[in-house]
Every structure is written in C-alpha cells, then in structure tokens.
C-alpha cells in the first residue's frame, strides 16, 4: 500500500484527520469491555480526540506544556495522547504499576501540567503525593467508580472534560482544526522514558516527523496493511508500544485491539487472532513455560505425541522445511489455542531472548523475529529477515539506518553505535546527558556490546558494562547465560555472578506458577513463595535444571554454586526495571551478604533486608537461604584437593 505524504501530514493529529476524512467508517481500534468487543472507527477516533483536546484547552492547557498519562492500555489513553499533541503539547507515559514516589519523579521532571489517570487506584497515588507534584493543575480521571469520596480541586471527571470540550466546539467549531494546523513536524511529541538500568529514567524527546519517517522505513521491511490486527499487551509508555499503537496505525491503518485486562490478555488475543504481534522476552518465556506445564499434566500418549512432533519441528528447522505431519499432530491445534494461527510476523525486543526459547517457537511455526533498538532511536532499527532461521543475531539494519561497531577488539566486538531517521532530539532538560549520548558525528552511543556476523547481521551480546571476566581471564556474558537458565520452565529469573571472581555462580528465582504446580502434583506442602523456594525437593529440581544448562557450556562458564532467592525480583524494590531488565548494581549492593557467602564456601546464609509490599509500604524480611553446589563445583573441589 502507498503511505501518506509526510510533507503535508507531518504530525500525528494531521494524519488522524486525514484518515477520518478518507476512511471514516473503517475500524481503527477495538476495546473489550464486559466481555464485548467495542469498535471505534477513524471518524469516532477523531471525534474523541477533538472533544478531549478542546476540553484540555478549556482547562487552560497551553502549547508546549506536558501531559502525563498513567493507567492500563485503553483507547482513552491514545485519544488523550493525540489530543495533547493536537494542542502542541508533549506527552509522557507512566507505567501503571509504579509507586507514588516513582510517579512523582517523572511528573516533576517533566513539570506536567495535567495528568490523565485511569481510575481510583492511579488517582490515589497522585493524591497521596499532595503538594509533592506542584506543577499539576488538573487530574483527569476516566473511571468514576469510587471517586465520589474525593473533593480535591484538581480532579476533573471524564464527563466534565467532554462537556467542556463540547462547549468550546459549539462556540468555536473550527478551533480544533486551527490548533492541528499550527503543529509542525519538528515539534516534540513524546517524552519517552528510557529503561533506567543504572539510574532514574531519562526522557527522550521524540519529534513528530522524524518518528513517522522512521516508521516508514520500518514498514519497508515489515509491511502492514489495513485489515491487519495487532493486540496491545505491552505497556504503552514503552517505546515499541508507542510505535505499534500510536504512530504506525496512523500510517498504515493496522487495527489495534485492547484486551479487557492483563488477566484476560492471552484469551483475548486468541479471540482476535492477530496478524502481527510484539511481546517482551519475558512473555515469550512464560508462554513457552505454560505450554510445557500443560504437557507435564498430559497423559503419556499426548506427551509422546508432543515429543515426537517437536523433534520433527526441530529437524525441519535444520533442513529449512516445515513438517506437515508435525503440523497435523500438534502445531496446528497448539497455535490455534495460543491465538497464533493467523500470524504473519511475531517480534520480540527490549532485551535478548534466549536461543532455546527462540527455537521452541520457530519449531512450532511461529514466524518469530528478534528486533533491536533504543528509545533514543525511535525504537527498533534492525530485524531478522523473513524465513531465516537465526537464533543469535538481531538481523540487518532498516533502510536509512546506520549501525557501526566502535573500537572493535580482535573478535570484532565493540560498542554498537547507531543513527536512524527517528533519532531523538535529546534528553528533556538534560543537556549534559544529551552530549554524552551522541558521538561528534551524530551517532547514539548505545552502551551495548555487539558485532556483525559474516552475513552482515548484528549480534548483540550484552550491555558493555556488564561484559565480565573471571579472575582466570575467562570472558563471559551474564545475559547470555541467564537466558539459557530462564529457558527452564522452573526458573523465572536469574542473575549470573562471577566478574572478577574465581568462578561463576547464580542467584535464581523460581517461576512460581510452574514450581507451585509441580509441588502440588507431588504432594509437597508449602504456604508461600519463600517457603516453597526453601524446600529441599525444589532445590533438587532446580539443581537438575542448572546441570542441564551446564552440560551445554564450556567448563569455565559453568555455574558452580547457586541460591534460590526468597522472593521474586521486583521493580518496586528497584531490582529490575519496569520492562524487567536486571539492575545489576542494585543486586550487587542489596544481596552482597548472599554473594559473599556463596564465594566464601558457606552452606547457608541468613539474609535480612527491606521489601516493598503491593500497597507501597515497606517492611523487613528475614530468610535463611541454602547455597547449593553443582557437579561442576564438586569436580573442581576434588581437583583442587
């Protein structure tokens, strides 16, 4: 399909009005509510944005101001975002599960004048902050349930906002079009949060036209067309969901579908049968684990069919052929159950996906591809080619995107640097960080280590600062080893240790959904996560999983000791980012007593530390943890003796 001309349609709102005029009755998005899929045409989309924008104007929102949005993925989020852009304002998305202090940091950093909040839960966070968010003049809430008890003067209901907008439209019918016409492609539209693995997130300034130009190059390598379906599962503040839900549909009119809730997302996905999907590595890992869990519960015949079909799938991958018998026996029904039957493409990004998980889905016939990019580059700028079986690389750069390896070593490994049409303008109110991010010739210093393989594909190894060496000089990538460990259905999270240490060890978190099911079927008693993780039989189970991974690794990269943590790694505790990237500095500091006990050769360690509960309150936890040796450690100890 031909894409709109960005010379004239150089902002998101201009494209919206274009689509509403040319394709008024075409469905632009759907939302499932109370079990029913509600459809919104491009005409309705534009009308909602018009009303909200004029309501914002009635509240005094001025060009250049910042609007913050917090809540789950819903059409009203996207409408509010486009409405702010129509008035020449910038938007910043806040992850719905943040605690109040995290929300305050972003709101104050951006000096947001208005916040659009989903419901009472999100409003509570904002009101808890009181005078701690002085720039906020209005808090618009969408869901009125539970809101009657509040009387904060900043609160504005969705109904009142719409009434204000309707009144402005009555008095000045052309106001919205005039506001949209004032917009320029060079205006900053989105303040997108960076991952923040080492510090508080920064806000990357993304401009309308460069972002849209980058989408055009994306669509050259991954075409989309009207009638294609996308299900919005990943958080809207993340850069790639801004790509797939906000910008890309305006260009190619792919339909966006919003699930009813996080709990029903996978079932809703099956109902839609998307043609394109983007899921985070953690979701792919959990999906693979769930499949294997169902097989564990199946009868011996079905387990045998599964094993045979997957063997055929793997062998077919190696030959470059699909197995019709495997499709008949297993894959057809399995893909239908997962909602993957109509997929034209499936992608993963945000972090590396382990080769074993990749192979699992490719063998099933899911057209899964790894992509790579950063918030600062407008999202992804490399992707794997159609039909290519490639477990290691992130593919080749998009047209118009430049990628190079800075200061490569003898193996060609160095820092990945990139320049794309969608490059960010800089970090909002942080000139020093902006200068540090760019090279003199305008490339982004990604901070990632990688190299090009012999086919010109980019292989991303790890964060440059996370590449490690043991005291014996053995070089290893913690992320690569962690991904291999997490392919186990029983390991939910892994942190590999060993930099400047004599050998490698790991802190592991059990995958609660799987290990609890495994324990129940064997009559193993437990009361909670901590109790289950400490069970000797669970240690035996995880030891077997670690031994399987060790068998596939060179001796110097094998895990010699591990501990099962008493809790999951939690973004509320700062241990992982909201996109589930490990903050290694936090882990090293918080769990130093455990790490020191591992390398001191102790069999047990008592850990006392602070945790954050679901309601945001903090408390102390005390746990006695067992440290488990693997056969690699026992062998080394015998050799040393």
pLDDT tens for 417-450 read 999 999 999 999 999 999 999 999 999 999 999 9
Which of 227, 267, 240, 195 is closest to 369 using CA atoms? 240
Q: Give the CA count within 13 Å in the CB-facing half-sphere of 80.
A: 28
Distances (CA, A) of 566 to 36, 512, 591: 41, 11, 11
Q: What pLDDT is recorded for position 281? A: 85
pLDDT at residue 119 tops 90:
yes
- Angle at the Cα of 187 from the Cα atoms of 65 and 435, rounded to 5 degrees: 95
Residues spanned by CATH 3.40.50.12780 within the chain? 12-208, 276-341+343-465
Sign of CA dihedral 365, 367, 372, 373: negative
Ramachandran region of residue 146, left (φ > 0), alpha (ψ -120 to 50) or beta?
left
Which of 365, 392, 370 is closest to 382 using CA atoms? 370
What residues contact residue 409 under an 8 Å CB cut-off, 6+ apart? none
Is residue 301 classed as helix, strand or coil in its secondary structure? helix
- Angle at the Cα of 289 from the Cα atoms of 285 and 294, rounded to 5 degrees: 150
**Looking at the chain, how many residues does it have?**
641
pLDDT at residue 163 tops 60:
yes
- Residue entry with tokens 């193996």: 411
Q: What pLDDT is recorded for position 426? A: 97
Cα 84 from chain centroid? Answer: 24
pLDDT band, residue 638 (cuts 50/70/90): confident
What residues contact residue 313 under an 8 Å CB cut-off, 6+ apart? 323, 326, 331, 363, 364, 365
Distances (CA, A) of 153 to 137, 156, 163, 261, 353: 9, 8, 18, 30, 47
What are the structure tokens assigned to 521, written together? 């079927």
Is residue 102 classed as helix, strand or coil in its secondary structure? helix
Stretch 21-50: mean pLDDT: 97
Q: What pLDDT is recorded for position 125? A: 94
Looking at domain 12-208, its CATH superfamily turns out to be: ANL, N-terminal domain (3.40.50.12780)
Q: What pLDDT is recorded for position 439? A: 96
Architecture of domain 276-341+343-465 in CATH? 3-Layer(aba) Sandwich (3.40)
Distance CA 126, CA 71 (A): 12
pLDDT tens-digit series, residues 92-114: 999 998 889 999 999 999 999 99
> For the chain, what is the mean pLDDT?
91
Sign of CA dihedral 145, 150, 155, 157: positive
Distance CA 467, CA 446 (A): 14
Query: The CATH number of 467-640 is which of 3.30.300.30, 3.40.50.620, 1.10.760.10, 3.40.50.1220?
Result: 3.30.300.30
Per cent of the chain over pLDDT 70 is: 98
What are the structure tokens assigned to 151, written together? 């009387």
Ramachandran region of residue 74, left (φ > 0), alpha (ψ -120 to 50) or beta?
beta
Per cent of the chain over pLDDT 90 is: 67
Could you tell me the maximum CA-CA distance found in the chain, to the nearest angstrom?
A: 89
Element (H, E) at 91: strand 90-94
Residues spanned by CATH 3.30.300.30 within the chain? 467-640
Question: Cβ distance 461 to 399 under 8 Å?
Answer: no
Distance CA 320, CA 620 (A): 54
Element (H, E) at 158: helix 158-171
pLDDT at residue 290 tops 70:
yes
Distance CA 156, CA 147 (A): 10
Q: What pLDDT is recorded for position 640? A: 67
pLDDT at residue 217 tops 80:
yes
* Dihedral pair phi/psi, residue 117, rounded to 5°: -115, 145
pLDDT tens-digit series, residues 603-631: 999 998 887 766 566 778 889 999 999 99
Which of 224, 210, 197, 238 is closest to 576 using CA atoms? 197
Spatial strand order of the sheet with 255-258 comes to 36-41, 27-33, 255-258, 229-231, 276-279, 345-348, 368-374, 379-383, 396-397
Stretch 453-481: mean pLDDT: 89
Weakest-pLDDT range from 176-190, 222-236, 353-367, 542-556 = 353-367
């Amino acid at each position: 399909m031909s894409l709109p001309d960005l010379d004239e349609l150089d902002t998101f709102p201009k494209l919206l009005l274009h689509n509403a005029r040319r394709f008024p009755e075409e469905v632009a998005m759907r939302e499932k509510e109370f079990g029913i899929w509600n459809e919104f045409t491009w005409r309705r989309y534009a009308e909602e944005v018009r009303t909200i924008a004029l309501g914002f104007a009635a509240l005094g929102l001025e060009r250049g101001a910042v609007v913050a949005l917090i809540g789950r993925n819903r059409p009203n989020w996207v409408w509010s975002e486009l409405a702010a852009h129509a008035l020449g304002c910038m938007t910043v998305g806040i992850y719905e599960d943040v605690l109040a202090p995290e929300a305050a940091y972003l709101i104050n950093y951006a000096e947001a004048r208005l916040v659009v909040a989903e419901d009472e839960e999100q409003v509570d966070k904002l009101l808890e902050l009181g005078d701690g968010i002085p720039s906020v003049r209005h808090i618009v809430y969408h869901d009125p349930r539970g809101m009657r008890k509040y009387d904060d003067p900043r609160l504005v209901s969705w109904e009142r906002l719409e009434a204000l907008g309707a009144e402005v439209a009555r008095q000045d019918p052309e106001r919205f079009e005039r506001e949209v016409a004032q917009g320029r492609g060079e205006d900053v539209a989105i303040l997108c949060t960076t991952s923040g693995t080492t510090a508080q997130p920064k806000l990357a300034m993304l401009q309308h036209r460069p972002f849209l130009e980058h989408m055009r190059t994306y669509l050259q390598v991954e075409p989309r067309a009207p009638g294609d379906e996308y299900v919005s599962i990943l958080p809207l503040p993340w850069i790639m969901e801004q790509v797939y839900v906000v910008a890309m549909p305006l260009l190619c009119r792919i339909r966006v579908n919003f699930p009813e809730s996080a709990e029903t997302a996978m079932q809703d996905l099956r109902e839609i049968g998307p043609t394109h999907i983007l899921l985070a590595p953690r979701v792919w890992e959990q999906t693979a684990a769930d499949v294997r869990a169902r097989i564990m519960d199946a009868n011996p015949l079905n387990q045998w069919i599964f094993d045979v079909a997957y063997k055929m799938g793997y062998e077919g991958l190696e030959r470059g052929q699909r197995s019709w018998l495997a499709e008949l026996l297993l894959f057809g029904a399995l893909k239908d159950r997962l909602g993957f039957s109509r997929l034209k493409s499936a992608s993963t990004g945000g972090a590396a996906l382990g080769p074993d998980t990749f192979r699992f889905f490719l063998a099933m016939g899911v057209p899964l591809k790894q992509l790579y990019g950063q918030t600062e580059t407008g999202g992804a700028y490399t992707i794997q080619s159609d039909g290519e079986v490639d477990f290691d690389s992130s593919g080749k750069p998009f047209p118009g995107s430049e990628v190079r390896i800075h200061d490569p070593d003898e193996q060609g490994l160095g820092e990945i640097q990139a320049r794309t049409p969608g490059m960010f303008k800089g970090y909002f109110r942080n000139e020093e960080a902006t200068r540090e991010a760019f090279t003199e010739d305008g490339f982004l210093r990604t901070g990632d280590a990688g190299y090009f393989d012999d086919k010109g594909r980019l292989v991303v190894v790890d964060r440059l600062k996370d590449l490690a060496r043991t005291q014996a000089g053995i070089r290893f990538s913690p992320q690569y080893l962690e991904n291999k460990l997490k392919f186990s259905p029983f390991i939910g999270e892994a942190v590999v240790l060993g930099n400047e240490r004599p050998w490698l060890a790991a802190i592991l978190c059990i995958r609660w959904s799987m290990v609890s099911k495994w324990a129940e079927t064997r009559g193993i008693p437990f009361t909670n996560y901590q109790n289950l993780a400490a069970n000797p039989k669970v240690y035996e189970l995880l030891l077997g999983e670690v031994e399987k991974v060790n068998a596939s690794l060179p001796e110097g990269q094998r895990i010699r000791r591990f501990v099962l943590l008493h809790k999951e790694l939690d973004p509320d505790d700062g241990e992982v980012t909201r996109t589930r990237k490990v903050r290694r500095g936090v882990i090293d500091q918080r769990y130093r007593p455990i790490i020191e006990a591992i390398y001191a050769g102790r069999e047990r360690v008592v850990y006392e530390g602070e945790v954050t509960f679901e309601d945001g309150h903090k408390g102390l936890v005390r746990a006695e943890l067992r440290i488990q040796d693997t056969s690699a450690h026992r062998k080394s100890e015998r050799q040393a003796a």
